[in-house]
Chains A and B, each alone.
Chain A
Amino acid sequence: MTVELGHFALILALAVAAWQFAVPLVGAHNGYTSWMEQGRTAALIQLLLIAFSFAALTNAYVASDFSVLNVAENSHSAKPLLYKISGVWGNHEGSMLLWVLILALFGATVALFGNHLPATLRARVLGVQGAIGLAFLLFIVFASNPFLRLVPPPIQGQGLNPILQDPALAFHPPFLYGGYVGLSVSFAFAVAALLEGKVDGAWARWVRPWTLLSWALLTIGIAMGSWWAYYELGWGGFWFWDPVENASFMPWLVATALLHSAIVVEKRGALKIWTILLAILAFSLSLVGTFLVRSGILTSVHAFAVDPQRGLFILLILATFIGGSLSLFAWRAPSLKVGGLFAPISREGGLVLNNILLCTACAAVFIGTLYPLALETLTGDKISVGAPYFNLTFGPIILPLLLLMPMGPLLTWKRADAYAVMQRLWWAALIAIAMTLLVLVFTQRGPWLAPVGIAIGCWAIFGGLKDWMQKAGVGKVSLNTAWARFRGLPRAAHGAVLAHAGLGFVVIGVILLSVWKQELITVMKPGDTKSLAGYDITFLNEEPLKGANYDGVSGVFRVMQQNSEVATVKSEKRSFRPSNMPTTEVGLVQGFFGDVYIVMGDAMQDGRSVRISYNPLASWIWLGASIMFLGGLLSLTDRRLRIGVPAPPRPAPPAMALAKPAE
């Protein structure tokens, strides 16, 4: 019964979405105040309906109601509760429902807290959100309905793909979708601004928190996915340049660019048209990502549904929104007023360069991701574009960005002195060079990329530190005053430092793990000991394994360093019920300076195949990403950006630029 109610609520939500789409937009066009206000009511009702619908589906999962086709196909009664719940979005239909739930949540947030938005702008934003909701609800109800019944119901469900039964992966989709869908708000603001014909600093102040939120969620979502790939897939890598990974990375790159260009619109009133275009592109890439992952055009663990009808439907949504918004852009953008002047070497100039590099990097990823699809369609040749392509293109494009990053925040608006900036940063550069020399001295041989990676990472981290000290006035005023100033800095300033320094950690982790990794593939019998990177790894014994929904065998390994035990870990080979699908669990000893990573393989002629690797600084990747995420969140709580706190009515944007010269 609840399932039918949930289904009914979903269909009602579809009707409400049509209402939320049409009424406020027509109202804003003709100046009907009451029509415009209906957008808010519709957005709130929308959230209630979809939330109910989602709760109904979750209930069916928790209760293991196998009369629901979706539950029968993707759940199993013996599954732990966490994975029953995460199973709701561990399949195509449920994940689309999560998508619209997050969309409705964000729409309702705009409706509830958008008191200070001009009425027409708010109505138009909600209208555009309604249109997106309408398209996806149509898709769910007609092509991916999770509420279809199954007659007769089976006694047991087919279970969730075992490699998805993992805590990090349980929360990876909600975060990633939060990011994808958050960009729909920036998109809605961009389209609404085009309809309004007006973009000003106040507009940018609204777009920034949404972009920031999306960016932070995408950052942590991608990091979780990569963490999962690292320890669950057991291949020892953390990023494979797989098309589905790229699908989430491309919106991230453009969202990063948007985040930076919106600052210029807010502070200086320049780059308006470009920022609008970026907002459109960022969400378009989210849609492209959804299409690539959900259409089944790519085969991977993400491609739940291989149904051409669905692919076509998503392609249609894609064409409508991307084509529609870009046409509107071409039509209306020339009428927008252009803003402030600036010299090429200035904060604005730096941010423009940041944007160009990020977008070029995104283009390189885009081409590498879609080229195989295009080539196969045109010539029938099947090719794969792998890591070598991306290392060769993405690396050199992003390198200048990383080198220039610490300088950006120290540039002044309008016109800056690059020489003066370098003077302030000299000691950060010195530390970076010193670290590089240290590495060269202690590792006589080795890839040249290692010292370069360390140099870039230190440059970013210490450059961030310098930015902090600069703003607090360390060295110019007494320490007490500096501390007081430091505490008085806007949170957005702390956020920026953390995000930039976090990226420094990620860069060091990524590069050193890639070039300094040591690996040993061997055959071991219980009692055997092997040495790698200063660790002695002993295969103690094999034990039978029994879990809630799997059986298997686990190999126990003792890891010693200089005759003292570091840890005893297990690497498991599991076989899941009911599918008999095998999975491998990695035996992982994590450390700040490196991980010991043990994978027990098949039985060979004389023992077990065992792969041991030492992954230096692996944890820095996720540490850095978490710092970036925290930086994003901290920025989001900045007084000036905080969503929902009544802000005094803002006059012209230039006043804002004067208020915070320290930034």
Chain B
Amino acid sequence: MTRKQTRLTIILVSLALVAAAAGLILYAIRDTIVFFFTPSEVTEKHIAPGTRIRLGGLVEKGSLLKTNGTEVSFTVTDGSGIMKVRYNGQLPDLFREGQGVVAEGAQGTDGVFVADTVLAKHDENYMPKDVADKLKEKGVWQEGKGAGP
């Protein structure tokens, strides 16, 4: 084989592999990404029940309910909209009423959001950026104090 042929082989093999990978990436990006919404956006944008999303906002004070088993429920609010969330599992250490939260899952046909993952902020001074940004848009956020009432 000459240098040219070797190079051509390498280039063709690389191109084939890269093309296959690119196809895979495009397919995966379309199918697996999860959008982030606050409760009022879910209503505004008519997100169909069953669509997997990340729901973010503040945990409404006094809304945390522990049932008989391991299931908990709480309400997420962004100031203008609210949505009830049901979750079967352990809440993260930093989950608190009145604090930011992100729940991943889908809305059921009864309007209750069923979460399979609940994330809370990582430390005392930190609010999930997505939540903070959205709350700023809604005007619920007060700089320096964190979230308002």
Interface residues of A (CB under 8 A from B): 161, 163, 234, 299-301, 338, 341-344, 349, 352-353, 356-357, 360, 363-364, 367-368, 371-372, 381-386, 388-389, 392-393, 396-397, 521-523, 573, 579-584, 599, 601-602, 604-606, 609, 611
Q: Which residue of A lies closest to B41 (CB)?
A: A382
Q: Which of chain B's residues 9-38 have a Cβ closer than 8 Å to chain A?
A: 9-10, 13-14, 17-18, 21, 24-25, 27-29, 31-36
Chain B neighbourhood of A573, CB < 8 A? 93
Interface membership of chain B positions 121-149, coded 1 if the CB is closer than 8 angstroms to chain A and 0 otherwise: 01110101110011000000000000000
A-B contact pairs, 20 of them (CB 8 A): A161-B122, A299-B122, A299-B129, A300-B122, A344-B13, A353-B13, A356-B18, A367-B25, A371-B29, A371-B33, A384-B104, A392-B31, A521-B90, A583-B93, A584-B93, A601-B91, A602-B90, A604-B70, A605-B67, A606-B68
Q: Is the CB of B70 within 8 A of A523?
A: yes
Chain B neighbourhood of A368, CB < 8 A? 25, 28-29
Chain A neighbourhood of B128, CB < 8 A? 299
Chain A neighbourhood of B109, CB < 8 A? none
Chain A neighbourhood of B89, CB < 8 A? 521, 611
Q: Report the bound CA distance from A521 to B116 in whole Å.
A: 13
Q: Is the CB of B33 within 8 A of A389?
A: yes
User: What is the distance, in angstroms, from A600's C-beta to the closest C-beta of chain B?
Assistant: 9
User: What is the distance, in angstroms, from B72's C-beta to the closest C-beta of chain A?
Assistant: 8
Given A367-B25, A611-B90, A605 and B66 contact (CB-CB distance below 8 Å): yes
Chain A neighbourhood of B27, CB < 8 A? 392
B: number of interface residues (CB 8 Å): 43
Q: Which of chain B's residues 50-74 have a Cβ closer than 8 Å to chain A?
A: 54, 66-70
A573, A583, A601 — most chain B CB neighbours (10 Å): A601
Q: Which residue of A lies closest to B34 (CB)?
A: A384
* Given A349-B10, A368-B28, 10 new contacts (CB under 8 A): A301-B122, A338-B3, A341-B6, A343-B6, A344-B6, A356-B13, A382-B35, A384-B34, A397-B24, A521-B70
5 nearest interchain CB pairs?
A382-B36, A601-B90, A388-B32, A389-B32, A392-B28
Chain A neighbourhood of B13, CB < 8 A? 344, 353, 356
Q: Is the CB of B21 within 8 A of A363?
A: yes
B29: contacting residue among A352, A384, A385, A522, CB under 8 A: A385
- A-B pairs with beta carbons under 8 A, tally: 125
Q: Is the CB of A389 within 8 A of B29?
A: yes
Q: Is the CB of A393 within 8 A of B123?
A: no
Chain B neighbourhood of A372, CB < 8 A? 33
Q: Report the bound CA distance from A584 to B88 in whole Å.
A: 18
Chain A neighbourhood of B28, CB < 8 A? 368, 388-389, 392-393
Q: Which of chain B's residues 79-95 have a Cβ closer than 8 Å to chain A?
A: 88-91, 93-94
Q: Is the CB of B21 within 8 A of A364?
A: yes
Chain B neighbourhood of A604, CB < 8 A? 66, 69-70
Chain B neighbourhood of A364, CB < 8 A? 21, 24-25
Given A383-B36, A385-B32, A521-B88, A299 and B126 contact (CB-CB distance below 8 Å): yes
Q: Report the bound CA distance from A161 to B126 in whole Å.
A: 12
Given A360-B18, A584-B93, A344 and B9 contact (CB-CB distance below 8 Å): yes
Chain A neighbourhood of B3, CB < 8 A? 338, 341
Q: Report the bound CA distance from A293 to B6 in whole Å.
A: 41
User: What is the distance, in angstroms, from A51's C-beta to the closest C-beta of chain B?
Assistant: 31
Given A301-B123, A360-B18, A385-B29, A522 and B70 contact (CB-CB distance below 8 Å): yes
Q: Is the CB of A393 within 8 A of B24?
A: yes
Q: Report the bound CA distance from A161 to B122 in whole Å.
A: 9
Q: Is the CB of A343 within 8 A of B1?
A: yes
User: What is the distance, in angstroms, from B133's C-beta to the closest C-beta of chain A?
Assistant: 8
B21, B89, B134 — most chain A CB neighbours (10 Å): B21
Q: Report the bound CA distance from A299 to B24 in whole Å.
A: 28
Q: Which residue of B lies closest to A600 (CB)?
A: B90
Chain A neighbourhood of B24, CB < 8 A? 364, 392-393, 396-397
Chain B neighbourhood of A349, CB < 8 A? 10
User: What is the distance, in angstroms, from B26's C-beta to the closest C-beta of chain A?
Assistant: 9
Q: Report the bound CA distance from A582 to B90 in whole Å.
A: 14
Chain A neighbourhood of B134, CB < 8 A? 382
Q: Report the bound CA distance from A503 to B105 in whole Å.
A: 34
User: What is the distance, in angstroms, from B32's C-beta to the closest C-beta of chain A?
Assistant: 4
Q: Is the CB of A344 within 8 A of B1?
A: yes
Q: Report the bound CA distance from A234 to B93 in whole Å.
A: 10
Q: Is the CB of A161 within 8 A of B123?
A: yes
Q: Is the CB of A599 within 8 A of B93?
A: no
Chain A neighbourhood of B34, CB < 8 A? 383-386
User: What is the distance, in angstroms, from A64's C-beta to the closest C-beta of chain B?
Assistant: 21
